[in-house]
Structure formats: C-alpha cells, structure tokens
Chains A and B, each alone.
Chain A
C-alpha cells in the first residue's frame, strides 16, 4: 500500500478522455426497512472515464450501483442518460440504455460454453443459431478490448479471473457503454488485477465509462479519474483528477480518521503445538489436491499460508476443519486426533473456522444475524435465542456491523457487513474456548477501518495464546501479520520463511512455482 506514489506518477501522463456526462443520478434516495441506503445522492460518470465509488461497508455503494443499472428503483430522484431523463424499470431496460453491471457473484451457467453464456438472455437471436458467427463476434469483441478468451471453453473450467472476463465480454456483446464493476478485484489475484486494469483502459479509450467499486485504496488511486466517497448513504467527498489523491487521504475521507495498517508480530514466545499436520494428502477424482503436507502451529503463533488461489487452500482449510476426509495423513488439534472425525469434533477441541465462501458456506443467507451466530454453537433442544440476543447486540456494536439489529437477515447485509458477522461469530468463541483459529481471506471486502479492527482482533487472539492459521491471497496481509509464512503451490508446501525476514520476491517466486528451496 506504500508504492502508490510511483503509480500515480506513472498514471498522470494519461490524458483524460472524459468529456460529456454519460449517465447521472440526481438526488437519489433508496430506503430499506430501517436504513436510508442512499440519501439524496448525486453522481455522474462521463464517457471515457473511470469513476470510483468509495466508502465504508454498508455505505450504500452496491445499492447505488443497483439503482444505476435498473435493478432497484429509487424512492426519490431520477437518472439522466446523455442529458435525457430515463426510467429504468429493470436491468434489461438498463441494458437497452447501454448500462450493465458485473456482479461480484457471477451469474454464469457453468455447463455452458463462453459463447453460450454470452448470448444467454439476448432477445434478438435467430431461431437457428449460427455458432461460428457468434463465436467470431464474441472473439472479436474480446480481442478488441484485450480480453482474449476461447469462445468454446466451458465456463466451469475457467478460473475466477477468466469468468469475470466472460461477464465483461457479455456486457460488451449486449452493447454496454457504461459498466458497473462491483468489487471486481476482491476475487482476483494480483496478476489478474493488472490484466483487468488493462482491459479497463482499453474500454475507456474506446469511450466507454466505468463505475468502479473497491476497498483497496492502492487500486483506487491507480485506476480512478474521479472518486466519490459515500458515508452512511450520503456523498461526503470528491476527489477529481487522476493522481491527486493518495491512499492516506482517501482513508481519512472514508472513515474520518487516520488508519494505521502496520505490521505487528508476536511479542510472546510461542507455546506448545496446537495444530499438528502430518503427511496430509488428498486425491479427488484422481487429481492430487494436497500432497504430503506437514507443518504445525503453536500457541501464540500466527502461521500464514500464501499462494495463488486454487492451489489447495480451500482443501487444506476444509480438511483441518473436518469437512473433508484426507486420503492419507493426520490432523491433530490440541492433542486430539481429528482426522475423519467431522466438524463438530474439531470444534469441540477448540477450532474456530472462517471459510473462504462467506454467504455460500459460512452464513445462512435467509437467517438473521442472531441465528447465524448460533450456527457453530452448542444449541439446546429448544433453541435459546433470548440469552444470545445481548451478545449479538454487543458483537454488532463491537464489529460495527451496519444492521437494524440482531434480527437483520444475513442476505440483506452489505457484502462487508456479512463478512463481519462471520468474523464476529468465529472470533468470539463457540463450543468451548478457541485454541485454533483458521481464517481464510479474513479482510476480503472489508473497508480499511474494518481491516484495522480485524487485524487488531487477530493480534489480540494471538497474544491471548491462540494458534492462528491465516490463509490469504493478499500477500501483503500474510507477510505483515504472520510469524511464519508457508507457500502453497499445487497442493504442496514449497517454501517456508520467518515472517519478519520474508522476502517479497522469494515468496512471489515460490507462489509462481519457482521455489528455490524446499520445505525445511
């Protein structure tokens, strides 16, 4: 997060192609029961520019984007497109006006090919599809914006970054002039982010407009022509002109105070072994997902697992949590063998687990915050919600979760606030005292203020003698927090280094499969 100044310098020679206003929102109000998610918001985006929406979790960014693309209808205010008033009664009408949104959770059919997904939902298809024509058109669009992709590839086989590319190509195929990208980089690895930004430049150069949402301030500084800051549904700040902002300023604009995301490491001597993994291997459908992994985590120690997504992180954490039975090897948590014993057993001996997939796995979307807190707790025959309610209220306050109270449904939380509920539950202990904390991408989708809080809580947990396994694609995070860093590549640990002396270049090389040194 400190290398932004040279990025700014690098960017500043770009001429701003922005001219006329393509789409503007005029004093938009959007109410949900108990919250005013957008409070007379004025916003506009010009042709050929990147306009970023920045704000804390629950500030109303996704809501505004949903209004801009026709998914939500505003309660007050209106939109204009090229100066003319428009009424977007649905996303399809939005598309007719050239406005498309790329959602964070992709809406692709996995069994279909890229082309099939791209034309899905198009209205003006001939009765008989001419595949080669469509493939050509899809490939042409993809090519012209630097989004190379095989039209015949099955979407289920593509990586997250490639799927996102399909979504963008789909929007462009449907004639989008204005693209709304809601936290597109949250699911990407750094190299994919770079690629995405090249695409964004190609699109703006072609006169298209981008509305960009992200919590990663470095990225925001790098890509934005203008930034609008939202807070509690209201516009509280503007930064215009590329390169005029730096991350510190943006953070202050967002949360109203300075944020320190400094490296902190264990001050305690590490204690006994809490997690012990011996020769763990996992083979799924004859594909080796984990091969011969051995390591341990001690009380008061934070071990970070770095690696590009899809190299076995999910399999490793799920196996430790007792959700997957390994093909061979063992997992021992505070002295109890938990291999093959299921998730309840693992939790009974002191595991808390924040999975990667928050709304899919960690939370039950249609349940309240309160009920979600009960998910990994001991429940009586008659569920006792009364006694948990005060604790729920306390956690909502402590984690600054923007919600109407313990009964707020998880699916009606903003992305970052859902993540906070999950963290609140797992960090506050469940069945018995937590001894081992396995956290996957804990700060993904969180605003800088929340990141600071979560990191502080992780450090507190470590100081309190918990053993922590931090699995994250965010290399900065792993390097700045961990006492020890392990690199996972193709299901094997290929590099190990103390956090304090970890070399970014070495870890990076190991992540790319160029390990110079085996596991020690």
Chain B
C-alpha cells in the first residue's frame, strides 16, 4: 500500500505556553465532536443531547448537587492517583483501596455502635477507611521501595482481590457486614451516629468540603513543606536525592501509603454519606479508575484536581441522566468519558511533539498542525 504522504512527529525543543491551556480545552471539544458523530449516526440530535447533558450535569439544582456529590469521591481518588503519579509511582489500584475504605469504614461504623457521638464517630469512620486503604497498598509500597517490583501490577492485582472481598463480605451468610434482617444480600447499616445528613433535599454531603480541604492541604504540603520538597527532588532526579541524603525508599513508602489512604478515605466518605453500608454495586462503578482519568486531565497537578474532578463528575452525572430524561442510551455518556480521556492523553502528543505531514516524493515538509 502506498500513501502519498506520511505523518511525522518531531520532539519540540520547548513547549509553547499557550498550548498548555489550549490542549486540554481542545481535547474536550474534540471528544464532544467525536461523540456527536456517533449521536448523529444513531439518530440522535447532538445539540439536544449535549444541552440535556449540560442541564442535568451543571445547570439544575439536582444536577449540580449530584455533580458535587460525585466529585467528593472523584476528587479524593483523583488526588490519590495524582499524588503518587507525580512521583512516578503508578498506583492504579485506587479502585481496590476504595473498596477497602468502604469495608474499613463500615467496620468502624458498625462495631463502634452508638458508643460515640457523631462529632467523634464520623472522623473515626473516615480514619478507619483511610487506614484500610493504606493497609491495602502497604505490601505493593514495601516491595516497590525495597525490590523495585512494579507497583502497577501489584496494585492492580490487589484490586481484583478487593472486589472479591466485597462480594465475600456481602454474599456470605452470617457475615459481619451483611444485613442480618433480610434474606436478600445487603450491607448492614452503620450506626446512626456514623451517618451525616445531606444538605436539604440534595444528595450532597458535608464530606465535599473535606475533599476540598484535603486537595488544598495536599497542594500546600507538596509546594511548601520539607516532605513535598523531598518528593519533588526524588521525582525529578533520584541521583540528586541520593547526593543530598534524601531517603528515597522511605519517601516512596510514605507517598504510596498516603495515596492508598486517600482512596480509602473516598470509600469511607460513601459510608458516612450516601451509602451508610457496604453497597456491593460499588465494584461496577469504577470510582477509583475514574480518579486516574481525573488526575490525567489535571496532568497530575494537585491544584487542578478540584476543577477536573468537578468537570468529569458533571459529565458523568449528565451522561447518566440522559437515559432517564431522553431515550439516549447511557452508553453514550460512558463513551464520551472514554473519548475525553483518550483525547486528553492524545493531546499530550501535541504539547510534546510538532506534527508534520510529509509528502513522500517531496523533501519539503508542510506544517499542518500546531
């Protein structure tokens, strides 16, 4: 097969600053355009669909509160991913750590019963969830820092085990976490003192503000503290870290534990918030994996996670509501989310490389893209 031209990638000597902003925006638009093609092909109006999505995701009371509610979880799993990624530690098992957060939080919520007041109980539940998430990543963190074993594989494998664990504690008769009063397998509700109230008629819980505070606090930690300084040195130059006497092994373990704790916290937030129990359907929702997308959209910049978390949640809420409000299949929403991720990652190529189309019979090159 002969093609008259060929596409060439050239590494850029420098990335123009305007591209850093342009590329994410263009990625979202390209994804929307891509989705529009599918909508047209399946006989839907893209304009109506998108305006419905926007309406349901951002522009109505229920829409925006649902979006912020979802973003509570996704901001946590997003910083969990970004915090590790920025140090080149690829914890892609946030999903599994979130399951464990659910289990840890539910355990505290049930076992500690009504012994503590809400003001104490909720923090204890959240803490237990975070600890459970951290515990779930401890072994990957340890072998990574000591033996260099890939954390990508180990954290992912543990996610599958985590999913089995969720099923086990719910479907096993007589399980501590299973509701003893119904024959239908369900999670056992946590104590009242471990449940927060949502705001008014919305499904938004005060944990949203906790997520914001954590995002800001972690940003501050990375920018301003000694711990953050170490992270930055190791991320950029392990040799310089060694030279300066910075213990990379210890920092690696800590960063991974914190990353795991954040995903675990996301799970526990579901316990004190909307769920109140272990909801086995969690293993189909992929909130942990969505955190990876949120981190990628923010290019692992902790300062941008709040924005990308809310945007992505809105897209998801709007997409999910499509099926309710119109006859558009839910998969359109899911597909759009995937498309945005692909375009966002693909857009990186434009930031790092200059793209040419070269005519094969002609030495001269024509620049067609930025």
Q: Are B13 and A71 in contact (CB under 8 A)?
A: yes
Among residues 354 to 370 in chain B, which have CB atoms less than 8 Å away from a CB atom of chain A? Answer: 354, 356, 363, 365, 367
The residue in B233, B244, B367 that gathers the most chain A C-beta atoms within 10 A of its C-beta is B244
Shortest beta-carbon distance from A393 to chain B in Å: 20
0 or 1 for each of A36-73: is its CB under 8 Å from B? (1 = yes)? 00000000000000000000000000000010000110
**CB–CB A363/B240 < 8 A:** yes
A381 interfacial by beta-carbon distance below 8 Å:
yes
* Residue contact B226 to A364, C-beta cutoff 8 Å: no
B residues less than 8 Å from A371 (CB atoms) = 229, 232
Q: Which of B239-256 contact A (CB under 8 A)?
A: 239-240, 242-245
Report the Cα distance A118→B236, complex, angstroms.
29
Q: How far apart are the CA atoms of A374 and B228 in the complex, in Å?
A: 13
Most buried by B among A90, A344, A355, A380: A90
In the complex, residue of chain A having the shortest beta-carbon distance to the beta carbon of B240: A364
Closest beta carbon of chain A to B143's beta carbon, Å: 24
Q: Is the CB of A89 within 8 A of B225?
A: no
- Chain B residues positioned under 8 Å from A343 (CB to CB): 242-245
Residue from A321, A361, A367, A382 in contact with B224 in the complex, judged by beta carbons closer than 8 Å = A382
The answer to whether A89 and B233 have CB atoms under 8 Å apart is: no
A383–B229 contact, CB under 8 A?
Answer: yes
**Shortest distance between the CB of A63 and any CB in chain B (Å):** 10
B244 near A375 with CB under 8 A, answer yes
Which chain A residues lie closer than 8 Å to B225 at the CB level?
381-383
- A364 contacts B245, C-beta separation under 8 Å: no
Contact B232 A355, beta carbon cutoff 8 Å: no
CA distance A322 to B363 in the complex (A): 55
Q: Which chain B positions have C-beta within 8 A of A360? A: 237, 239-240
Closest to A381 in B: B226
Chain B residues, CB < 8 A from A355: 243
Question: Are A366 and B236 in touch, CB under 8 angstroms?
Answer: yes
Decide if A361 touches B243 in the complex (CB within 8 Å). Answer: yes
Given A383-B224, A383-B225, decide whether A375 and B10 contact each other with a Cβ distance below 8 A.
no
Mark interface residues in B2-30 (1 if CB within 8 Å of A CB, else 0): 00000010110110000000000000000
Q: How far is the CA of A357 from the CA of B13 in the complex (A)?
A: 23
The reply to whether B226 and A362 contact each other, CB–CB distance below 8 Å, is no
A91-B10, A92-B10, A380-B226 given; A375·B354 CB < 8 A:
no
Which residues does chain A contribute within 8 Å of B224, judged by CB atoms?
382-383
CB-defined contacts of B228 to chain A, threshold 8 Å:
383
Known contacts A344-B245, A347-B245, A357-B239; is-contact A93 B232 (Cβ 8 Å): no
| A362-B365 CB under 8 A given contacts A89-B356, A92-B8, A383-B226 | no
CA distance A357 to B367 in the complex (A): 38
| Docked complex Cα distance between A480 and B321 (Å) | 80
Structural contact, A382 and B237, CB atoms closer than 8 A: no
A456 within 8 A of B: no
* A33 (CB) vs chain B CBs: closest residue: B17
Query: In the complex, which residues of chain A have a beta carbon less than 8 angstroms from the beta carbon of B367?
Result: 89
Q: Are A364 and B8 in contact (CB under 8 A)?
A: no
Contacting pair A323 B229 (CB below 8 A): no
* Closest chain A CB from B369 CB (angstroms): 12
The answer for the CA separation of A376 and B233 in the assembled complex, in Å, is 12
Find chain B residues with CB under 8 A from A91 CB.
10
Which single residue of chain A is at the shortest CB-CB distance from B235? A366
Q: Which residue of A89, A365, A376, A383 contacts B365 across the interface (Cβ within 8 Å)?
A: A89
Decide if B13 touches A72 in the complex (CB within 8 Å): yes
For B363, list chain A residues within 8 Å (CB): 96
Taking CB atoms and an 8 Å cut-off, the chain A residues in 212-268 that contact chain B are none
Given A343-B243, A347-B245: A90 touches B237 (CB 8 Å cut-off) = no
Give the residue of B10, B236, B242 whose beta carbon is less than 8 angstroms from that of A90: B10
CB interface residues, A 344-388, toward B, < 8 Å: 344, 347, 353, 355, 357, 360-367, 371, 374-376, 379-383
A379 — nearest CB in chain B belongs to which residue?
B226
Residues of B close to A508: CB separation below 8 A = none
Q: How far is the CA of A321 from the CA of B239 in the complex (A)?
A: 14
Which residues of A sit under 8 angstroms from B11, Cβ to Cβ? 90
Return the chain B residue nearest A355 by Cβ.
B243
Within the complex, which residue of B229, B240, B245, B356 is in contact with A362, where a contact is CB–CB below 8 Å? B240
**CB within 8 Å of A: which of B197-232?**
224-226, 228-229, 232
B233 & A364 in contact (Cβ 8 Å cutoff): yes
Whether, in the assembled complex, A342 has its beta carbon less than 8 Å from a beta carbon of chain B, the answer is yes
Q: Contact check, A379 vs B229: say whether CB atoms are below 8 A apart.
A: yes
Q: A29 to chain B: closest CB distance in Å?
A: 15
Q: Which residues 76-101 of A have a CB within 8 angstroms of B?
A: 89-93, 96
Chain B residue with Cβ nearest A97: B363
Max chain B Cβ within 10 angstroms of own Cβ: one of A91, A371, A382: A382
Tell me, rounded to whole Å, the shortest Cβ–Cβ distance linking A203 to chain B: 24
With known contacts A90-B10, A93-B365, A344-B245, A361–B240 Cβ distance under 8 A: yes
User: Are B13 and A362 touching (Cβ within 8 A)?
Assistant: no
The answer to whether B244 touches A376, judged by C-beta atoms less than 8 angstroms apart, is yes
What 0/1 readout, one digit per residue, does chain B (334-368) give for beta carbons within 8 Å of chain A? 00000000000000000000101000000101010
The CA-CA distance from A379 to B229 in the complex, in Å, is 9
CB distance from B317 to the nearest CB of A (A): 37
**In whole angstroms, what is the CA distance A321 to B243 when docked?**
8
Whether A364 and B237, one on each chain, are in contact in the complex, defined by CB atoms closer than 8 angstroms, is yes
Chain A residues with CB under 8 Å of B233's CB are 364, 367, 375
Inter-chain contacts of B354 with A (CB < 8 A):
89-90
Bound-state CA distance A362–B233 (Å) is 11
A166 vs chain B, min Cβ distance (A):
20
Residues of A within 8 A of B237 (CB): 360-361, 364-365
Q: Return chain B residues, CB-CB under 8 Å to A363.
A: 240
Residues in A with CB closer than 8 Å to B8 are 92
- Residues from chain B with a CB closer than 8 A to the CB of A347 are 245
Min Cβ gap A369→B in Å is 14
- Distance in angstroms between the alpha carbons of A371 and B228 in the assembled complex: 12
Given contact pairs A91-B10, A382-B224, a sample of 19 additional A-B residue pairs in the complex whose CB atoms are under 8 Å apart: A72-B14, A89-B354, A89-B356, A90-B356, A92-B8, A92-B10, A343-B242, A343-B243, A361-B242, A362-B243, A364-B233, A364-B236, A365-B237, A367-B232, A374-B229, A375-B243, A379-B229, A382-B225, A382-B226
Q: List 22 A-B contacts (CB under 8 A).
A: A71-B13, A89-B354, A92-B8, A322-B245, A323-B243, A343-B245, A344-B245, A360-B237, A361-B237, A361-B243, A364-B232, A364-B233, A366-B232, A376-B244, A379-B229, A381-B225, A381-B226, A382-B225, A382-B226, A383-B224, A383-B226, A383-B228
In the A-B complex, list the 10 residue pairs whose CB atoms are closest, starting with the nearest.
A90-B10, A344-B245, A343-B245, A71-B13, A366-B236, A361-B239, A361-B243, A364-B240, A375-B244, A379-B226
Question: Chain B interface (Cβ within 8 Å of chain A)?
Answer: 8, 10-11, 13-14, 224-226, 228-229, 232-233, 236-237, 239-240, 242-245, 354, 356, 363, 365, 367
